[in-house]
Chains A and B, each alone.
Chain A
């Protein structure tokens, strides 16, 4: 398309317009995060109308001394356990789905595709009732099971995509040598598809880390709350403790930013594969 490059004044104007457009986009995309980051280091008490200009760590000190670390620990426990469970389950399911032909395979795969788009808002009522009857409200195990179920369809989908790129001859050779299927999966397949597992785990962790609805319905005990619920503790009926909210938001977002960076490309190809092929 280089031949279309306009020359002279028109070109200058066009390049200026392109840069301006880029700058507007950049400001729109970055400003909210920038203001939260900035605000988290400012002294914004509830009564104060404007900040005093200096920067301070007091918001962070305040939230962690008032128990924010409990939410962080709860989130870590729930999300890491659910991610581990989902990835283990998905590894075997993806292997089974990609290596064997059996009756009902299409149905299982179709359900997994559908599960990715399943509206959890309509599962909240039945799961709440079942959990309430089973004494699973305010239970981390209950939340872990829900999150495992919530992320499994996409992790299976990602891993099936990954497994189809690994030649079947590899595991068949091992089977001929007398290895069991379990050995094949853990000793041969897992080391090869480690990048795929990392992508699936990152995705699962991110999904559960920002989940709000199920946590809202299933957790009422403050000592059990996860970060998304904990953040909204600072929104009072009249006043908002903005300093605390913003420091808490930064703490909630830093891990997702760090995890997202290497995942970005994989997610795009995973989500829209088939369309872009």
Chain B
């Protein structure tokens, strides 16, 4: 049987996209729906094969009314996400502005800076955590040795075990590992600010702050918005930084949603309950996603598809 050209083209499209379709359905859509189904059961790791019994919304009500829910929510939203995202945007912006200054540009610092930024950026998160755990280490760590030597402290500080320093320590690790992306992106965005506008504003008597506030910043805003939302989504769901730095401890002091999902599934073996936490996270993230598309419409996507 000979296929018509149209049918042949349809077949070609189908074959080209079929593997992608399998991936999207098999590894994204189906597991997501299956996770939703699991969240309404009491399945545990021990009765994996026979499956769990339906329990309705019990997992959700248990999680949302549990005594730890409030702490986990605050840890995730405030410490893990808000503080670390704000810090990395401000530091990234600061570094980009610094590198964009005439003096440092004249000293040809940009190439050097790109190489410097590369180091934390290319460091895998698992290694970033190791590096900082070493710096923070109370017995061998360079930070404690230095603080002791200068007399600023008289006893070593266990930065990742001490309740007042543990969150700032985790945030430091995340900021160190993620600021380069922000810095490099904003440095690129700074090149799009028209210099004749800045010169005109200066002739008109604007001071530096006014030039920055009313000319540079508006040009940077689209990039900052994209970076912020990307960072929020990515950090909110992040598991490795908290887990590898503190294991959600001391106790459960730094527990976040992502580590709670893992702890409930693989330590308490309650897969159904853990699935409900995952669904809760997905709902919160869907809200963020909606925000993203509301900010930027679908223009970016349409640009790409052409």
Interface pair B95/A272, CB less than 8 Å apart? no
Are B122 and A89 in touch, CB under 8 angstroms? Answer: no
Contact between A217 and B266, CB atoms less than 8 A apart: yes
Q: A33–B35 Cα gap in the complex (Å)?
A: 39
Please indicate the chain A residues that have their CB under 8 angstroms from the CB of B19 in the complex.
89, 92-93
User: Which among B61-69, B78-86, B163-171, B195-203 touches the partner chain?
Assistant: B195-203
Q: Which residues of A contact B (CB under 8 A)?
A: 1-5, 14-15, 18-19, 21-22, 25-26, 28-33, 35-36, 39, 44, 49-50, 89-90, 92-93, 95-98, 100, 102, 105-106, 108-115, 117-130, 132-133, 145-146, 148-150, 152, 156-157, 160-161, 164, 181, 206, 209-210, 212-213, 216-217, 227-228, 231-232, 240, 242, 245-246, 249, 252-253, 256-257, 259-261, 264, 267-269, 271-277
Docked complex Cα distance between A260 and B122 (Å): 6
Cross-chain pairs A/B with CB under 8 angstroms, 17 sampled: A5-B102, A25-B95, A33-B120, A96-B17, A117-B234, A117-B289, A121-B257, A124-B278, A125-B35, A129-B48, A152-B20, A212-B240, A245-B134, A253-B127, A257-B119, A257-B123, A276-B189
Residue of B nearest to A38 (CB): B142
Q: Are B38 and A129 in contact (CB under 8 A)?
A: yes
Establish whether residues A97 and B17, one from each chain, have CB atoms under 8 Å apart when the complex forms. yes
Whether B126 pairs with A252 at a CB distance below 8 angstroms is yes
Of all chain B residues, which has the CB nearest A210? Answer: B124
The reply to whether A100 and B123 contact each other, CB–CB distance below 8 Å, is no
* B16 contacts A by Cβ under 8 Å: yes
B interface vs A, CB < 8 Å? 9-10, 12-13, 15-17, 19-21, 23-24, 26-32, 34-35, 38, 43, 48-49, 94-95, 98-99, 101-104, 109, 113-114, 116-128, 130-135, 137, 139-140, 142, 176, 179-181, 184-185, 188-189, 192, 195, 198-199, 202, 208, 222-223, 225-227, 230, 233-234, 236-237, 239-240, 244, 257-258, 261-262, 265-266, 271, 274-275, 278-279, 281-282, 285, 289, 296, 299-301, 303-306
Given contacts A121-B239, A156-B20, contact A115 B35 (CB under 8 A): no
Contact across chains for B131 and A100 when beta carbons are under 8 A apart: no
CA distance A246 to B130 in the complex (A): 8
Given contacts A32-B131, A93-B16, contact A125 B271 (CB under 8 A): yes
Q: Which residues of A contact B296 (CB under 8 A)?
A: 274-275
Having A149-B23, A268-B188, A276-B185, one finds 5 other A-B pairs with CB under 8 Å, namely A108-B24, A109-B301, A246-B134, A249-B127, A272-B223
Q: Are B49 and A96 in contact (CB under 8 A)?
A: no
Contact B32 A122 (CB under 8 A): yes
Write out the residue numbers on chain A whose beta carbons fall within 8 Å of the beta carbon of B305: 97-98, 105-106, 109, 160, 164
Is B134 a contact of A36 with CB atoms below 8 Å?
Answer: yes
Q: Which of A97, A109, A146, A231 contacts B27 (CB 8 A)?
A: A146
Pairwise interchain contact A111-B125, C-beta atoms closer than 8 A:
no
User: What is the minimal beta-carbon distance from B248 to any residue of chain A, in angstroms?
Assistant: 13
B258 contact set on A, CB distance < 8 A: 121
